[in-house]
Amino acid sequence: MSTDQNERSASWHSSIREKQEAASETVEVVPVVAEEVHVGRRTVETGRVKVHKTVQTTEEVFDEPLLQETVQIERIPINRIIERPIPTRQEGDTTVVSLTKEVLVVEKRLMFTEELRITRSQSQFRDPQRIEVRSEEVVVERVPVTGS
């Protein structure tokens, strides 16, 4: 029991005894007593914790497929007279660009000088890389409160 409860209890018993002694001399009186309770809260420290964090570094190999694109340019001489420019066109994976120039004759005409054939190709290869990967570990240790 706490000190407050002990004092209340003693006070209550003493009050009843006084009333009983006074009642025995004269009229008998039955005392009616009511108790009051006050409830409260308080924070009590029951312990502490220590947290230790460490970083672990490991080396891992990552072997993911990579995509590489190369371009091959092929020049094909044509040297032919044409009436109008030839538009750029696509032949499968190859883009064909027609190059022209004006040449001086008695009259001006377009000469088809050459074609550029641009071919795209893709290849997939692996290039494993060693990379350091970090991870963290946490250790929680409970430390009791001293002096409570």
Four-CA torsion 134, 138, 139, 140, nearest 10 degrees = 170
Name which of 141, 144, 148, 146 is nearest 47 in CA terms: 144
Per residue of the chain (148 residues), give pLDDT as tens: 556 666 766 676 677 666 666 555 566 777 888 888 888 888 888 888 888 899 888 998 888 899 898 989 999 999 888 889 999 999 998 999 999 998 877 777 788 888 888 888 888 888 888 888 888 888 888 888 776 5
